[in-house]
Structure 1
Amino acid sequence: MDLSTLALFLPACFALNMAPGPNNLLSVSNSTRYGYRISCLAGVGRLVAFAGMIALASAGLAVVLQTSELLFYAIKILGVAYLLYLALQLWRANPLADAQTQVNKAGLWALARQEFLVAAGNPKAILIFTAFLPQFVAPDQPVTPQFALLGAMFLVMECIAISAYAYMGLHMRRWFAAPRGKRIFNRCCAALLSAAATVLLMARRA
């Protein structure tokens, strides 16, 4: 893989990583409610889901998702339902609850699982890996090492996105320190998650 290919891949990939979406919104929300460190650690769940999708795309198994309409829509409906469930939880969240109490109640594992399920519940994500990453693979060179390198760089930049959105949430936490502000922020996040669910519901197979 030459430097010119990487020069095209890195900015295009980073734009995908930094684009607002359900997982990045979840990082903001988690940072606001539980703190920067907890939000970043919970993002590992998202990385695990994306790593699995990259592996599937590399193995060519994504074609199953592309050709099976039933599987695509089943995953999509589950993803929409889970986003709406998270939106409802945020809408009903008690702004007076202590953050540390909430962390102990939810648990880091549960927050990481949320990140994983939100990422895995979007069938379009694996199609992005199938359509996007192969564009930067040179056919005259071994494919698997190139795919592994591109996937690793994608995950590194996803870590940067997780940190950036969590940092954004940390500042929002200061802005919305009062209970009324917390309630407004939680409900705004709930509305955005519901909007993301609507967009996912309208998604069609490539």
Structure 2
Amino acid sequence: MFDLLVFIPACFALNLAFGPNNLLAMTHGAQQGVGFSFIASTARLVVFVPMIAASALGLGVLLSTSAFVFNVVKIIGAAYLIWTGIKLIRTAQEKTDLDADSRAPTLWRAFRNEALVAMSNPKAILIFAAFFPQFVDTANYSASYAYLGAVFIALEALAIIIYASAGRFAAAFAANKQHWFQRVSGGGMIVFGILLLLSRRSSPAA
């Protein structure tokens, strides 16, 4: 019980950390509402489940010890984040307020973007590989890892609602400034891509 009382706030801090997926949830919330953003963001939850399983199997160690594998995944992920950011900025520049509906993403496109962004950062699996083992019950490894994973997914869903609501709240006060919000979101994606490109491997034991 004590471990869980420590795990939950520490885990929720990771869930609330501002990153590309939470930025997408905020952007989608501003564009299409909280419900739309939450449904689209379930894509990251779907992606995180096999990532957690992979970490339990020790694949996070492979990413942390193999420079080649880590760098390949990192470069692909960074390129995708930068491309997504440029696309957001270009869309904001090319569209006007008269066709805002056509500028807003479809649910499928938003869902796909959430999934691809979640897969684009190799450090996500390292977080699971480094963080979960500190709380896992080695005597009941599989069930314990699955339980911690379920708690993480539940807290991630709560973080999605918070960011989507923040985006919707911001949009309500700047209804005629959506293009600026989209440009800022695009710029944020580019920054995250560059930071990922410059990042180094971290050890799961750290």
Q: Which position in structure 2 is the counterpart of 1:118?
A: 117
1:203 and 2:199 matched: yes
1:136 and 2:135 matched: yes
Residue identity opposite 1:149 in structure 2: Y
Please report how far the alpha carbon of residue 99 of structure 1 lies from its aligned counterpart in structure 2 after TM superposition.
4.9
Residue identity opposite 2:120 in structure 1: G
Asked whether the 8 Å contact 1:42–1:112 carries over to 2, the reply is yes
Post-superposition, which runs of at least 4 consecutive aligned residues in structure 1 deviate over 3 A?
97-103
Q: Which position in structure 2 is the counterpart of 1:96?
A: 97
Report the TM-score when normalising by structure 2. 0.91
Equivalent residues in 2 for 1:175-194 (5 A)? 175-178=173-176, 181-194=177-190
In 2, distance between residues paired with 1:200 and 1:70?
A: 15
Please report how far the alpha carbon of residue 98 of structure 1 lies from its aligned counterpart in structure 2 after TM superposition.
4.3
In 2, distance between residues paired with 1:34 and 1:97?
A: 16
* Deviating more after overlay: 182-191 vs 10-19: 182-191
In structure 2, relative to structure 1, the CA distance for the partners of 1:97 and 1:33 (3 Å cut) is: farther
Provide structure 2 residue ranges, at least 5 long, that are not aligned to the other structure.
none
Asked whether the 8 Å contact 1:83–1:118 carries over to 2, the reply is yes
Report the TM-score when normalising by structure 1. 0.91
Please report how far the alpha carbon of residue 81 of structure 1 lies from its aligned counterpart in structure 2 after TM superposition.
1.1
Asked whether the 8 Å contact 2:82–2:194 carries over to 1, the reply is no
Please report how far the alpha carbon of residue 109 of structure 1 lies from its aligned counterpart in structure 2 after TM superposition.
2.1
In 1, distance between residues paired with 2:181 and 2:54?
A: 37
Equivalent residues in 2 for 1:28-177 (5 A)? 28-92=26-90, 93=92, 94-96=95-97, 98-102=99-103, 106-139=105-138, 141-177=139-175
Residue identity opposite 1:205 in structure 2: R
In structure 2, relative to structure 1, the CA distance for the partners of 1:82 and 1:191 (3 Å cut) is: same
In structure 2, relative to structure 1, the CA distance for the partners of 1:95 and 1:163 (3 Å cut) is: farther
Q: Percent identity?
A: 42
Residue identity opposite 2:192 in structure 1: A
In structure 2, relative to structure 1, the CA distance for the partners of 1:102 and 1:72 (3 Å cut) is: same
Provide structure 1 residue ranges, at least 5 long, that are not aligned to the other structure.
none
Asked whether the 8 Å contact 2:47–2:119 carries over to 1, the reply is yes
Asked whether the 8 Å contact 1:34–1:102 carries over to 2, the reply is no
Deviations 1:62-120 (A, max 9, x none): 222223222211111111111111111221222425454445xx432221111111111
Deviations 1:157-199 (A, max 9, x none): 0000011100011111112211xx1222111112221111121
In 1, distance between residues paired with 2:189 and 2:152?
A: 24
Residue identity opposite 2:189 in structure 1: L
Deviations 1:2-23 (A, max 9, x none): x100010000000000011110
Give the length in aligned residue pairs.
199
